[in-house]
Structures are given as C-alpha cells and as structure tokens.
Structure 1
C-alpha cells in the first residue's frame, strides 16, 4: 500500500507545482502584436514627417517606444514582403518573387505560387512555445485562397484567422470577401481596418487559455481601392488638392484610429508585458499607375522611388517598436532593421527554437535592451520586376550598392516569376552597371559615389555578387507537375 500512497503524493505535489508555477513561467514570455499596413509610405505618418495627415495613436507609440528611421520591409511589393516577415527568410528562398495573383492559368506558372507547406513561420514557431495565435486582415501568401489545394493561414500556425486573399473588396467600405477559419463571412458593415480590429479584440476577449499570444493585424489600408469615412474626408477637404487626396489622408487617419482602439485594449488588459511592432509591407503606390490607383497619394518622404522600386522608397517604411510594461530603449534610432528580423527576435524573447534552415534576419533584442543593434548580415533584395533598372541591391552598413542584370549584350526583361522557361536565362546572367550610395549622407540616392570610394566600391561589389549568387542558388523555379 505504501507505493501507491507515495505515487499519489508525488502526483499531487507535481500538480501543485505545475499549477502554481507554470502560469508564472508563461507570463515571462511577452505577448507579441505585429501591426502591418499595406502600401503605407515612409512619409505618411505625422511622426515621420507628413505635414497634414493626423496619426496621434501611432505618433504616441513612436514617442513612447523606438522610432526606426532605417527600417526595411523584405520586398518592395506585398506578397514577398509578407512571406519574408513570416519566415525570417528572403522571400526569394520561398519562391515568392512578386505579388501573387488569383489562380488564373499563367505561362510562367505564376498561378502555382504560394507559401509552401515546409516553410516555418512565426506563428508556428511561437505556437510550439505555448503561444495562442491569431491573424486578422490581409493574407496574400497564396494564389488559391481558402482552397484545399494549397496551405492556408491555419496550416502555418494560426489558431484563428479572419482574412482576405488580397484587397478588401469591393473597397474598404462594407467588404464582402473575408473568410473566417475557412468559412466565408459575407458582406460586413463598416470599414476594413475597424473590422479587422473588431475581430482581433473579439479573439482576445474570448481567448480562454492563460497563455501568451501572438496577434498579427494586417490592415488593407491605405492600399487601393481606398474608401474612407465621410466625416474624416470632410475634415481633409480644405487641406487637400482634391477629394481623392482627402480620401487618402482620411484613410490613413482611420487606420490610426483603429490602432488606437487596439492599443487602448492592450493597455487595459495586457499592459504588463506586450511587445508591439508596427510597419508597412512596402512603400507607397504611384498615383495613377493603374486605373484604380486614382486615390494613391502616399508619400515617400525624402526617399527616391515608390512601391515596386528597389530604391529606398520601395522598401524603407515607417517602423515602430514599443514594449508595454517593460523598461526598454526609446527615442529615434537609425540602426538598420528589417521585417526579416521579427522571427529571430521573437524566438529570442520567447525562448522558442529557431527553425533549422537559412534565416536571413537577425535578432534586434539588443536594441530593446541596450539601445544598440549592429547588423552583421547585409540586407539583399532581388526584385526582378522592379520599375527601375537596378533590380538587385544590398544595404551593408552605411552603404547601398545596386546592379542591373545582363545576359550577353542584353539586359534582362522584367520577370514576374522564376520558372523552367527562364531558369537558364537567370542562371547565365551577370550583374552589371553597379552604383554605390552613401546612405548615411545621401539617403535620397542622388549621387553615385563609386568613383569616390574605389576600395569600398570594390568590396561592396564583390559582396553583392556573392550574396546574389547564394540567393539565386537557393531560389526555386516553379515547375508544373
């Protein structure tokens, strides 16, 4: 009889210790909230210099936390940028080279493109460390959305997801294309950013388990088709060039109001330990670049280019980090930080194990703790469908070097996808026409300084060649069947 009694005692003690101490251990892990805008330009927030648009919620977040002036998205367009953020890897390694259209048969196999099942993501990584996970907003990581033919958000670690394939349709107002955990929702009343926050707050309020959480809020704003509340539009009409510009300004402020609602809830309910990261997927859309972009009045600030460019405005966007309830560094910081860095940073802060594969990002936890972060890896972008000619670029310390791609005597045409039809062309092409910019003194990329710094130019050119060849070697070519 003694052994059963002892066994019961051990089990009882174990359960007591488990009950008493496990929640405390879990509480040490921060809740993590990622807020991602769509096509928000570097100069579109008040705290980043916009002279008209009012963004008090995000301005306060930047004032209390860390304002990142050298923050980069993983790509100058949406789908690859989102894939890079989720995986911590260059989106080229995942085979996502441009935005992902719907499943219309394409000669270049673009209809096949999707985030593949073997890619390991932030929510899956954090879920393994005890986190509850939720996605609310835009997905845009596969061509066949809400289809069993391709993995969906739930297959990458999201316990709960409320999402659209791409844009809110028919516009931000009363969208009808949201899907919740595989079920179509139908037409909703209200504006997309507010509906996305409604869903996030509902999930948070119903979350039963006492565990840390990862919440990713992906706004559609201010991507076209832009639609904004009339009271906000009326507020900006006297300050804008026309009603379309007033619509854009109001769109950004409406997003800021949605952020304010989310921050207020987090402060009241999870203010003791919640890390918040805010950014945009890429730079601002060019006005009238396509028929429906007539309200695209986004600002690149003092940067060169726009969305779809590999110059700075294509992927240098607002970045803000704030850790509720923790004493961290604050103020304006010019350390080079990327959306690729989220995964390794969250791994370090949560104690989760890093995926056992190439990770291009680096943890910036030291920036939070010590106010300093020294990047050891260059950031590389290879965007074959860039509007500008220099489609390959790296940011390495204070320097940025860019190049065109050439095959024989001809420059490569614009390429939307890598597939069997252009594999030989890509692999036989070489980098050419290098340009070098001093980002510390010329972030507008106005002067090529390659001839002024020949040794640095040669070093950076060799590094770009090596980085690009390594990336290309790891880039899959989509093949049918």
Structure 2
C-alpha cells in the first residue's frame, strides 16, 4: 500500500475566517453519484468483466474506501441524507419519492423541505458557486412552485430530471434547466450530464471556488448503452441485456474520465473529488422494467432495498487533486452523511445549528483512518428483508425486526399521522450481530459467541433508534 500524508493545519485556519470570506485554500469540491451501482460493479472493486479504468485510476491515486455507506438503501432518502448530513428520516424521506397521485399515507406530499439546510447552501455562505447536473429525485412535485426546486435549496445552476432519464438513457427528453424544459437531447445520459457540468465550468462568470454535484442515472433502469460498448461486452456476457448493463457502467466510467481530465487540466491545483453510489444494485426482474439489472453486490448479502450490507455499502473513492493526502485502501467506516461536516471544515463554512448524523472525514483524508463518534443507523421500513433497523459501528453490525405485540410491522413506505403511533410503539426484537471485520457477507450471527458485545450493541441500538424516532418528521395532510 502506498501512503502519503496531508497536513490540514493550513486548511483548519480557514474555519477562523468570517463566513463571507474567500480564501485560496478553499478547495473546489466535486461529488459524483451513480444510481444503483453495486459494490462489486467496478473493476477496482472486483468485477471480473466490466472495465472501469478511469475510476480505477482515481482509486489508485487517491483513497479507496471499502466500508463506505450510503444514507439509505434506496434513492430519494439516500440523496436527502447526502445533501443534509442527517439521517433522511429526520427530513421525512423514508422511501423513494413517487409522483403526485394522492395517497392515504401522504407520499404524494413528500419532498426535501425549505427548512432543510444543504451542502450547496452552506458553501454559498463562504463564496462558492454551485451546480447540480443529473438526477434530483428529492421532491414529488418536480419543477413546481409547490415544492422547493434545486435552485431553492442552494444550487445556482441546475440541470436535472425528477427521477430516471426518460424514455431511457439514450436521447432523454425530460431534463429541466433552471426551471425550463430542455426537450430531447441526442446522446446518452451520463455524457449529457458531464457535457452540462463542463459547460457550466467553462462559462462560470467568477473565479470563486465551486461545488459541483454530478448525479448520473446509470446504471438504473431503463438501461440503454452505446452499441460499440455493447458489442465489446457481448462475448463476455450471458445475453444482450447483460452486455447492455456492462456497457452502461463502462460508459459512465468514460464520462467520469472526461470530467476528471478537464478538472485536472483546469483546476488540478486544489480540487476534491468524491465518487460513490446512492444505494446497492437492483435485483434482476424485481419489477417489469428491471430486465437489464445485472449489478453485482460482490461478497455482500442482499441487494438494493435491503438493510443487509449490499443495500447501502457501496463503492467509495476520494481523490484530492493538488494536495498531498493519504493514498491507499481504507476499511474505515464512512458515509455520505459525512460530506457536509467534511466540506464545512475544509471550506471554512459554519455547520447548520441542528443535529447531524455525519462527522468530518479530515482525519481519514490525512491518515486513512477514522473512528466514528456516532454509529451509523438505518431504519428503512420498506426493506425487502425482515430486519428493518440496522446499526454499524467499528467492527460490528447489529440488525433487528420491529414488532407490535404479536405482529411484526408490515412494509411501510412513509410515516404519517395515521401510522405514527403504530410505528413508534413497536419493539425492537430478533436481534442479529455480525463481525464485519471477519464476515462482510453476514453469514454468521455471532450474538451468542460475543454476549458482552451483543448486549452493548443492543443497548446502543435502542438508544440510537429512540433518538431517530424522536427526530423523525411525520407527514400530515391538512384539511382542504
């Protein structure tokens, strides 16, 4: 393992500056987020067929994070958690956000609310320009005055879709740019998203540091990929659909390569790049459009929508252009929830005055190690597996089911006044304990093998879950 070190003392001085000040030590920050990319989908994370040379190079030159977690095992809450540094339940985003069809459980009302404080809004207070290019999926009423648009939540420039690229990744026609419909765009979504990011960078009318969030649709269904790449993978795939998936990830990697090349040439002196996925891979044929979902969980148990590892343990890569920082592989437990406090520290911004669930990763950047002060907790009530609550801290992970009297909680999409008491009165039962240092596949429940650890983890999970429940937003439809 190659190791280099960064001294953050100069950057720490930025935090002493007034919130409106600019400073040359402020890095540009780029977050690249895939959609449904599995833990084992990159060649640097073990895929035997898909070639991802650009991301592999980032991982080789920077920090490859093998215990990186998304904020949820599904899209919308994961994105909300990344933007706010808070468990998405606190924002009332419990599952993916559908459209506007009225439902008893108020899912049609769900959105990232105006009172939430986001990374781009925070960075704007210390002089950053901000841009979103790609998927949004943080509101049920997209591009409507009824709910905040990305522009109202901190992005100076936004080019986005509500959910998936439609009708597929090829020639999408549902992008909105700063509130205006764009119409059909020829090409493939990941390349289009990078085109917009590059255009914004080239036409930015200031030399301010920038925050750029690039949110690919790939490799979420409906998958469509360039034929030259599909043909390249045909001999290595089981069928056309699998070749399409392999090519889809490879095309995303090519788009990353274009973006990184531009950043290196123009902003290589001080730009932090973080790459990850919103959740784990989709299950093949789970629903009618998932016919090309050949994503790999690697050694992990489960898939997207599970609270076992494959649901939210995803590839993580961090590379700081122009700065001497730790380079190598780390198994430190980190999360997209950590982005906000990290970006606040390195930019000199003041963190929002509210409870956060992430912590700064600057020690990880400096040394490749980080000890969590607060465990990562997930309560995903619509999980496909029965254990809906999970917690990871240090080498240990604990899961449990939720039960009211003699009845286990059914799958629930949203918390609202009609089911608040039912959910909050449920007991945590049927605990399972796993040693993640020895068993990332969650093959052996070691509760009996480590009784003291088990009791300690149970007590801690009950406390963390009670805190999360207490802070969870409950939706309520007012009388019309």
What TM-score results when the alignment is normalised by the length of structure 1? Answer: 0.95
1:322–1:425 CA distance, 2 compared to 1 (3 A): same
Instruction: Tell me, yes or no, if structure 1 residue 273 matches structure 2 residue 270.
Output: yes
Where do residues 332-343 of structure 1 align in structure 2 (5 Å cutoff)?
Answer: 332-343=329-340
Cross-structure match for 1:432:
429
Does the residue aligned with 1:26 lie in a helix, a strand or coil? coil
Instruction: Tell me, yes or no, if structure 1 residue 303 matches structure 2 residue 300.
Output: yes
One of 43, 47, 68 as aligned partner of 1:71: 68
Instruction: Tell me, yes or no, if structure 1 residue 367 matches structure 2 residue 364.
Output: yes
Deviation of the 1:27 alpha carbon: 2.2
How far, CA to CA, are the matches of 1:363 and 1:228 in structure 2? 37
Where do residues 450-469 of structure 1 align in structure 2 (5 Å cutoff)?
Answer: 450-469=447-466
Alignment deviations for residues 255-283 of structure 1 (CA, whole Å, 9 cap, x no partner) = 00000000000000000000000000000
How far, CA to CA, are the matches of 1:115 and 1:24 in structure 2? 28
Asked if structure 2 preserves the Cα contact closer than 8 Å seen for 1:136 and 1:196, the reply is yes
Deviation of the 1:372 alpha carbon: 2.0
Instruction: Tell me, yes or no, if structure 1 residue 115 matches structure 2 residue 121.
Output: no
Does the residue aligned with 1:436 lie in a helix, a strand or coil? strand
One of 252, 256, 261 as aligned partner of 1:255: 252
Alignment deviations for residues 122-171 of structure 1 (CA, whole Å, 9 cap, x no partner) = 00000011000000000000000000000010011100000000000000
How far, CA to CA, are the matches of 1:345 and 1:41 in structure 2? 25
Gaps of 5+ in 1: 1-22
Deviation of the 1:24 alpha carbon: 11
How far, CA to CA, are the matches of 1:291 and 1:107 in structure 2? 25
Instruction: Tell me, yes or no, if structure 1 residue 137 matches structure 2 residue 138.
Output: no
Where do residues 2-151 of structure 1 align in structure 2 (5 Å cutoff)?
Answer: 26-151=23-148
Instruction: Tell me, yes or no, if structure 1 residue 222 matches structure 2 residue 216.
Output: no
Asked if structure 2 preserves the Cα contact closer than 8 Å seen for 1:27 and 1:211, the reply is no
One of 335, 354, 357 as aligned partner of 1:357: 354
How far, CA to CA, are the matches of 1:25 and 1:140 in structure 2? 32
Cross-structure match for 1:324:
321
How far, CA to CA, are the matches of 1:339 and 1:24 in structure 2? 26
Does the residue aligned with 2:167 lie in a helix, a strand or coil? coil
How far, CA to CA, are the matches of 2:328 and 2:268 in structure 1? 20
4+ long deviations beyond 6 Å: none
Deviation of the 1:25 alpha carbon: 5.2
Does the residue aligned with 1:335 lie in a helix, a strand or coil? coil
One of 396, 399, 419 as aligned partner of 1:399: 396
Alignment deviations for residues 340-371 of structure 1 (CA, whole Å, 9 cap, x no partner) = 00000000000000000001000001111233
How far, CA to CA, are the matches of 2:229 and 2:424 in structure 1? 51
Alignment deviations for residues 215-269 of structure 1 (CA, whole Å, 9 cap, x no partner) = 0000000000000000000000000000000000000000000000000000000
Where do residues 177-196 of structure 1 align in structure 2 (5 Å cutoff)?
Answer: 177-196=174-193
How far, CA to CA, are the matches of 2:118 and 2:21 in structure 1? 26
What TM-score results when the alignment is normalised by the length of structure 2? Answer: 0.95
Cross-structure match for 2:3:
none
Where do residues 382-393 of structure 1 align in structure 2 (5 Å cutoff)?
Answer: 382-393=379-390
How far, CA to CA, are the matches of 2:140 and 2:368 in structure 1? 40
How far, CA to CA, are the matches of 2:103 and 2:288 in structure 1? 22
Does the residue aligned with 2:454 lie in a helix, a strand or coil? helix
Computing the radius of gyration over CA atoms, which structure comes out larger, 1 or 2?
Answer: 1
Cross-structure match for 1:474:
471
How far, CA to CA, are the matches of 1:408 and 1:129 in structure 2? 52
Greater mean alpha carbon deviation, residues 67-76 or residues 364-373: 364-373
Does the residue aligned with 1:100 lie in a helix, a strand or coil? coil
How far, CA to CA, are the matches of 1:375 and 1:216 in structure 2? 25
Deviation of the 1:435 alpha carbon: 0.4
Does the residue aligned with 1:69 lie in a helix, a strand or coil? strand
How far, CA to CA, are the matches of 1:162 and 1:207 in structure 2? 15
Deviation of the 1:427 alpha carbon: 1.6
Asked if structure 2 preserves the Cα contact closer than 8 Å seen for 1:237 and 1:246, the reply is yes
Alignment deviations for residues 107-134 of structure 1 (CA, whole Å, 9 cap, x no partner) = 1100000001000000000001100000
Asked if structure 2 preserves the Cα contact closer than 8 Å seen for 1:26 and 1:211, the reply is no
How far, CA to CA, are the matches of 2:24 and 2:51 in structure 1? 35
Asked if structure 1 preserves the Cα contact closer than 8 Å seen for 2:332 and 2:368, the reply is no
CA RMSD of aligned residues (A): 1.1
For this pair of structures, how many residues does the alignment match?
460
Cross-structure match for 1:413:
410
Asked if structure 2 preserves the Cα contact closer than 8 Å seen for 1:66 and 1:332, the reply is yes
How far, CA to CA, are the matches of 1:25 and 1:412 in structure 2? 51
Cross-structure match for 1:166:
163
